[in-house]
Each structure stands twice: as structure tokens, then as C-alpha cells.
Chain A
Amino acid sequence: MTSLIDGLLIALEPANLLYAMAGAVLGIVFGSLPGVSATLGIALLVPLTFGFDPVPALIFLGAVYCGAIYGGSISAILLNVPGTPAAVATMIDGYEMTKQGRGGLALGLATIASMIGGQVSALVLLFAAPLVSAWALEIRSAEFFWIVLFAMSTVGAIGTGSPLKGLLAAIVGLAIGTIGAHPLTGEVRYTFGELALYEGVPVVSALVGLFSISQVLALAEGRGMEKQVEIPTVGRLWPGGALLWRLKKHLARSSLIGVFVGLIPGAGADIASFIGRSEAHRYAREPKRFGHGSEEAIVGAEAANNGVVGGSLIPMLTLGIPGNAVTAALLGGLLIHGLIPGPTLFQQAPDVLYPFIFSLFIANAMFALIAFGALRYIAKIVLVPQGVVAPVVAALAVVGAYSFRSIPFDIWIMFAMGIFGYILRRADFPLAPIILGLILGPLAESNLDRVQTLAGAADLSVMGFFMQRWITIILMVLTVATVAFSFWRDIRVRRVEDTRPEGPE
């Protein structure tokens, strides 16, 4: 209880409120810029927090996360261009409302729904994370190894278009994670004599390169394709108490959907927003208005995508397992401050974690206040040409990669990962499983090493050791079932497409 009160008081300190505000503003800016996702925003800003103390750094990054997921809806509603993948579901009805001259109402509803989704998820995080963390203390190496494999298989197989490619991308990430010294013996692997790789490929450089340089090249592809657009008249933002009261069930349902989806590895804010919208349609008063400017659709999608924030932080903070690319980027922020996410983090650093969690409530309120106060001005950010965005992102990536260890080699690592990421994007491979593999690979290996030692001491094979506890067996079955399910689903979808009659839809 003392930790909770202390955490709240630290989060309310004026300096920390300023960090939350700065993070929320930057989050909205990054989120609303088409081509700059929440992941890219956090990846670019993680190195920037290197000089901060851990508490303000996490408060700042947490606020960026909240603001960026919300910010995606601005360009989606005003320009029919989703700022982030999470805003695609919002765009369908949001832009319709803009065309009908009700863009302000759409933005107002998106703001309120995002704020409520975020607050609900922060509340669940506040109470659930310490409980999960206490339970996680009972987890042993064998279980941890299989939890990592389960998370990897889920992210690779379910969260992507092609399960085979998703899993291969996760394995590529694990392979990159084997570079560097072996954690137990110190044997140096795949470094080719490069001392800077002794501790492995730096996560921050890899993260920044994979998501920023690949995106810079993707943005640069579209040179000359920019159209001069104007922001439509926004009008009044506040939707009114009566309308919000009428939408209360959608707000509550979609917020909880977001939290639940956030807990599942591989399922991020984009999936949550579509599920939220679909459930809002199922329980809608006026389902026929969906797709033609429905307020219920916007609320359903936006409460769900911001609900993901708190849910996705639970496995990341308590088990050290990021379920999606944004939390993987955020995990990089924790690592550079010496905070190792996992079961012991709540015991070791409650003075950092509770202020961080309370700051999420503040950040959610802040982006709503900022939006209602200055959205007309912030919305102009969506007009910044991509010819400006791309070079600025590249410059931030270079300075950020260098700032972490002040080794020029890190810039080249970042650049190489960026080129690699761009080629993989062109070859239709997902990038998120790669960064998760890179982060989780060493965790899986160190736990497997412990299992090998324990199995040897108990005169058992590694598989025999795994079979000793029922929870390990459940995790093994879940991992295999996840992969099998994803392949079954993929085959089924292909068969349905093969049997679909050709002709106009």
C-alpha cells in the first residue's frame, strides 16, 4: 500500500507531469504522422531517454505509447490515411463522418473512447501486474523456456499473414540473438573478431534500424507521390454527455476487449480495434449505419485499441515477454536503464514501476486534454510532407543509435539492420517477430542452459526433465497447438478463397 501511495505521489510531481505531457504531445505527433507508427516513435525516442533517470524516462515513454495509439485516429478521421495500423478500423466510419461535416464529433468520440480505454487498461495493469508477478516468482527455468517459445510461436504464427514466414522471422531473430558471448561459458560466437559484438547485437541499435531505416526507405520510395491536401473543417469536438451515456456499454466492452487482446502475444492494437468494432456492431442500436459514419463504430474501435496499452504491459513487466513490437521497443527503454523485466522486477523496483503505472492514468488524461485544447493546431502535423519526415527520422535514428554506447560501430549495426528490415519488408516478411526473437533469444538460451544442468544433475534427459511438471507440459502442448492452429487456419483460408466464385463482389 505504501508503494502505491508513494508511486502516485512521485507520478504527480511537477517534473514528472511535464515528462508525461511532453510524451503525450510527441506521441500524438508520431501517431498522427502517416508512416510513423507507435513502434517507430518509441524506438526513436528510447535512446533520447538514456540521460534521464529511470522514472521520468518510463513516464515519458509510457505517455508516448498512449498518445501514439490515440494519435493514429487523427489522420485516419481527417484524411482517410491511418497514422498507425491501429487506426484502420476507426478510419472506415471516421472519414465518412468527416465527409458528412461531422469530423469534429468523430475526433471528439475517438478522444474520449481512447482515454476511457486507456484508463481501464491502466487500472487492470495496476491491480493485475503485482498478482501476476507474485505468481511468476514460482515459475522455474523449464517453464520460462516454454513461455518464451510459446510467446514466440504466438507472435510468429498468429500475429502475421503467413504463419510459416512469421515463424521463420522469429527464428531469424533468435539467430541474431545468438551473436556474442555465451552467457555461461563466455565462448564468443559469430562475432568475427568484432569486440563491439561481444555482448551481442545491441538491442537499441537493432530496434531503431529495423523499424526506422526500413521505414525511411519505404517512405522515400513514394517520392513525388504526395498530394497537397487540406485539413477539412473540424467543427465542435465535444460529443455531449447524452451521446456518451448512450455509448457507455460500447465503451466498457471495447475497453475490456482491448485489455484482453493486449495480454495475448502477437495480437496488438490493430487486431483489438477490429474486434472492438465488430463487437460494437453486434450489439449496436443502429448496425446499418456501420460503414456510413457510425458513432458506435468509432467508440468500439478506439476504446479497444487504447485498451491494449495496459494489457500488453502485463506480460512485459511481469514475465519480461513483450507480446508485440511496441512493448518490445518499450522493453528496450527499460533495459537501457538497467531494469530487467521479469518476475522479480516488482520486488526490485516498485519505486519505478508504480509511478510508471500511475503516470499512464495521467498520460491518458493529458492526451485528451491536449486534444480538446489544441487539436485544431496539432491536426496540421498530418500535412508535414514525407520528404521531411523521412530524413528527420533517419537523422534521429543515427544520433539515437550512437548515443547509447557512443560507439560508431553501433550506427553501422543500426544501418545494416535497417537495410535487412527493408529487404524483408519487400519480401513480405513481418518485422516484429525478429525483434522479439532478438530480445527473447538470450532469455530462452540461459533458461535452457539451466535446465540442461539440472537435468544432468538429476540424471534425466532434457525432455524427461520437461515432463516432470504439469505446467511445463501444458505450455509445450499450447506451443504446439498454437503453431498447428495457425497452419490449419491458413490452409482453411486458402481453401475458402479457392472455392469462392469469381465475379464482381
Chain B
Amino acid sequence: MLARFRRNPLETIVLVVLLVLGIAGWMMSQNFRGDAGTWPGVIMIMMSVGALLVLGAQFLGPVDETAETPAATEMSGKVRIAINVAILVVYILAVTSVGLYASTAIYLFGHMLYLGIRPVWLAIATSVAVAAVLWMFFGYVLGISISNTLLF
């Protein structure tokens, strides 16, 4: 059982989450008035049943030795993904507080440096150029701006 879980632990976690979400969603759908709960109720049950079926195939079905096991992400890979996610979260927070285009330029520069783009002047030039093009198009042509931010 544990060996099968180890073949693709993320898949099992996703399936359990979908199973629980399906049950919770079905329970919530019982409180919707009129026909509003019919369709969501059916879909949520189907989601739980589908997740159960895939889980069943994963743990009770024959082991497909020929199937490629998704490459287990090493700890360094997991840390790298977490850092990338963190960079994106900081960028989105900055967009709503600092300003869309200024934070975009800073984000591009930082993320490119982290991803190993060298020389530094190339990262700076690319960041400024992309942010300027976005500002020209979205800010100037389409007139999009975020109010209540420090910069533009």
C-alpha cells in the first residue's frame, strides 16, 4: 500500500482533496434554495465518485510497471518551486500596493536574476523594456491603472 502511495504521492493527495471537496460541496448544495442545488449536487457527487474510482485503480488495480513514474522532485527542486511561488506572491502583493508597472519592472529583474540570467545589464534592459511596453499598451492605449498605489 505504502509502495503504491510512494509511486505518486501528489496524485493521492490531490484525489483525497477532491474526494473531501466533493462531499463538502454536496452537503452545501443541499442548503441551496429551489433547483439551484440540483446541478452542483450531481457534479459534487460525481467528483467524489470519480476521485474514489481513481484512488481505487491506484491502490487496488494492477501495478503498471511500464508506466512512467513522475520524477520525484528532490528537496532542492521543491525549495526552488517554493521560492518561485514566493516571488510571484510578493509581485502580486506589490502590484496592489506599489503599482502595476513599477512592480512589474522590479519583479522581472529579480526573477530573471534568480533564474540565472546574466549579464545583469541584460536582465535590467529586458525588465525595463518589457515593463515599458506593457505600460505603453495597457496603461497608455487601454488606460488601465490601479488606484491607491504608491507609484504608477
- A: residues with CB less than 8 A from B are 48, 50-51, 164-165, 167-168, 171-172, 174-175, 178, 182, 184-185, 187, 189-190, 213, 216-217, 220-221, 223-224, 226, 385-388, 390-392, 394-396, 398-399, 402-403, 406, 408, 411-412, 415, 419, 423-424, 426-429, 441, 444-445, 448-449, 452, 494, 497-498, 500
Cα–Cα, bound, A445→B91 (Å)? 37
Chain B residues contacting A429 (CB-CB under 8 Å) are: 14
Task: Give B contacts to A, CB under 8 Å.
Answer: 8, 10-11, 13-14, 18, 21-22, 25, 28-29, 32-40, 43-44, 46-47, 50-51, 53-54, 57, 62, 64, 66, 70, 73, 77, 80-81, 84-85, 88-89, 91-92, 95-96, 100, 104, 107-108, 111-112, 115-117, 126, 130-131, 134, 137-138, 141-144, 146
Return the chain B residue nearest A389 by Cβ. Answer: B115
6 pairs across A/B with beta carbons < 8 Å? A168-B54, A171-B50, A387-B112, A395-B108, A395-B130, A402-B146
Q: How far is the CA of A385 from the CA of B117 in the complex (A)?
A: 8
Tell whether, in the assembled complex, residue B85 and residue A217 are in contact, meaning their CB atoms are under 8 Å apart. yes
Q: Are B11 and A427 in contact (CB under 8 A)?
A: yes
- CB-CB nearest 3 A-B residue pairs: A387-B115, A187-B36, A182-B36
- Which of B25, B38, B84, B95 interacts with A408 by CB under 8 Å? B95
Considering the complex, give the chain B residue whose CB is closest to the CB of A404.
B144
Residues of B within 8 A of A449 (CB): 35, 39
**Contact (Cβ within 8 A) B111 A390:** yes
Which chain B residues lie closer than 8 Å to A221 at the CB level?
Answer: 73, 77, 80-81
Complex contacts, A224 vs chain B, CB 8 Å: 116
A354 to B99, CA, bound (A): 41
Chain B nearest Cβ from A185, distance in angstroms: 5
Secondary structure at the B interface, as helix, strand, loop or mixed, is: helix
* Given A390-B111, A428-B70, A189-B40 contact (CB < 8 Å): yes
- Decide: A392 near B81, CB < 8 A? Known: A412-B92, A448-B39: no
- Given the interface pairs A190-B25, A387-B112, the reply to whether A51 lies near B141 with Cβ below 8 Å is yes
Do B43 and A175 touch (CB < 8 A)? Answer: yes
Q: Give the chain B neighbours of A175 by CB distance below 8 A.
A: 21-22, 25, 40, 43-44, 47
Asked if residues B108 and A411 are in contact (CB atoms below 8 Å), the reply is no
Q: Which of B13, B37, B88 contacts A394 (CB 8 A)?
A: B88
**Min CB distance, B72 to chain A, in Å?**
10
Which residues in A have their C-beta under 8 angstroms from that of B143?
51
Given pairs A391-B115, A394-B91, A395-B91, 14 additional interface contacts (CB within 8 A): A174-B46, A175-B44, A178-B40, A182-B35, A190-B25, A217-B84, A220-B115, A390-B115, A391-B108, A392-B108, A392-B126, A406-B144, A411-B95, A445-B39
Q: Is the CB of A419 within 8 A of B85?
A: yes
In the complex, the answer to whether B88 meets A213 with C-beta atoms within 8 Å is yes
Contacts of B81 in A (CB 8 A): 217, 220-221
Q: When chains A and B are docked, how far (Å) is the Cα of A12 from the Cα of B11? A: 51
**Choice from B35, B66, B89, B142 contacting A50 with Cβ under 8 Å:** B142
